[in-house]
Amino acid sequence: MRADSADTLATGFSLIELMLASTILLIGVVSVISMVLFALSENYLFRVESAALRLSQQKVEELRSLPMDHTKLTGPGNPLDEDGKIDFNANLEAAYSSSTSLTLNKTKNTTFHFETRWSIVTQGTRKIITVATRKRDGNLPGAEPVSLKVVKYP
């Protein structure tokens, strides 16, 4: 039995259906790629912040272990801003700062340079130690200095 061309059903895709399917696929691929790029940039930022946090913690522990009358705890150190954080826009107080270089990726030879500053505020018999670390070279969007504060009692 032979069917006429009017009786046959169209098989395959029309050009409009193909364009619509391609557009939907393209939107999906672009979305996935943008999410991957965002995740990579956030991972990089978190690695830098983690390294800065570790350096700040090390400095806080070093300062806490010193006796109350040690010269590093006489203060005032680096100035604080109105929020009580280290003001990196102010002039550097060299005696109350340090620089450290860390290799984050040995295979790619990725080395970052960090700057740590601290401030000592004396209130009665206690000392409030504020320490902050930031990546020194090149600003990372969204990356602020990692700041820690501790109170030392005699």
pLDDT tens for the chain, 154 residues long, are 455 554 455 566 788 888 999 999 999 999 999 999 999 988 888 888 898 999 999 999 999 998 988 888 887 889 998 888 999 888 988 889 999 988 877 787 778 889 999 999 988 889 999 999 998 876 666 678 889 999 988 8
* DSSP reduced 3-state for 87: coil
CB 91 within 8 A of CB 105: no
How many C-beta neighbours within 10 Å does residue 129 have? 23
Identify whether the C-beta of residue 147 lies closer than 8 Å to the C-beta of residue 59: no
Which amino acid, residue 86?
I
For residue 89, give the nearest of 76, 73, 78 by alpha carbon: 78
CA–CA dist 93, 95 (Å, integer): 6
